[in-house]
């Protein structure tokens, strides 16, 4: 009996992409085992951009800091069966959402820049914007926890 491979995409919103870098290390250890189960269709850190469509699993790191991030996340959610938030930024907004902790004076001083680049009034976690099916906390993510969560969906 043949099983269809799960179509997987890895996405980074506003962040340092530390979880994606760590994910490459996890894939280095687990990819051979996972190759008969997954097709990595979107992961800008290791392959060219392709269309976001018909995903089984989307792994998303980072905060939603701009209208562009919000629209991209909504598109990812619309085109995947399972969305997994990876990393503390995606789940708690920290550390990449540090401007949420700025004083009102500091926010006022950068207001024009925020408007110029179409930033949202505050950084949002993924689940403030879309339904999140699962989470892997950490900065960067824990290898053990990531594998445990990811393999549930394979």
As a whole number, mean pLDDT of residues 55-84 equals: 97
- For residue 112, give the H/E element and its range: helix 104-116
Ordered domains of the chain (ranges, CATH): 6-148 (3.40.50.700)
- pLDDT score recorded for residue 2: 46
Q: Say what percent of the chain tops pLDDT 70.
A: 94
Q: Enumerate residues 6+ apart whose C-beta is below 8 A from 106.
A: none
Residues 82-115 have pLDDT tens digits of 999 999 999 999 999 999 999 999 999 999 999 9
Cβ contact 61:30 at 8 Å: no
Residues 27-50 have pLDDT tens digits of 889 988 998 999 989 887 666 667
């Amino acid at each position: 009996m043949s099983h269809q491979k799960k179509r997987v995409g890895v996405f980074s919103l506003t962040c340092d992409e530390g979880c994606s870098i760590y994910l490459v290390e996890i894939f280095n250890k687990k990819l051979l085992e996972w190759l008969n189960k997954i097709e990595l269709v979107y992961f800008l850190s290791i392959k060219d951009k392709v269309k976001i469509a018909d995903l089984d699993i989307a792994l998303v790191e980072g905060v939603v800091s701009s209208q562009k991030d919000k629209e991209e996340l909504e598109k990812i959610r619309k085109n995947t069966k399972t969305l997994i938030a990876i990393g503390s930024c995606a789940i708690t907004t920290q550390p990449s959402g540090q401007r949420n902790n700025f004083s009102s004076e500091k926010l006022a001083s950068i207001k024009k820049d925020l408007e110029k680049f179409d930033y949202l009034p505050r950084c949002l976690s993924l689940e403030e914007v879309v339904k999140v099916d699962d989470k892997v906390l950490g900065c960067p993510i824990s290898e053990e926890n990531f594998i445990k969560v990811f393999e549930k969906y394979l």
